[in-house]
Amino acid sequence: MCGATVGGLSLDGVNVAKEAVIQGQVVRGSGDDAAPVSGAYVRLLDRTGEFTAEVPTSATGHFRFFAGDGEWTLRTLAPKAEPVDRVVQAQTGSVAEVTISI
């Protein structure tokens, strides 16, 4: 069972009205058997596939990016898993919540 905080990462101190936020959690498995993956890397690639940023996941498998408006690709790299790409739309004033299952 996943031990993540319900609702994901806290947005305390983040002015969502002025930011395009992409955040989420990397898990291994799905449903009630999903377990957070710490120490994975999530890369942010622009619409042309160009590397923009990379962050490691937290102990609870969470990550966050502040991005510009538009289409982005999240590439997740984790031990004992194939890379996983997820396309996400970012928009100022909203939070794109993504769960990536490896």
Give the residue extent of every domain in the chain. Answer: 16-101
Domain formed by 16-101, architecture = Sandwich (2.60)
- Where helices occur in 1-102 by DSSP H, the ranges are none
* CB crowding 62-73: b at 16 or more within 10 Å, else e: bbbbebeeeebb
* pLDDT of amino acid 7: 54
Q: Give per-residue pLDDT as tens, 67-92.
A: 999 999 999 999 999 999 999 999 99
Residues in the chain: 102
* pLDDT of amino acid 4: 41
Residue 88: what residue type? V
Residues of the chain with pLDDT under 50: 1-6
* pLDDT of amino acid 100: 97
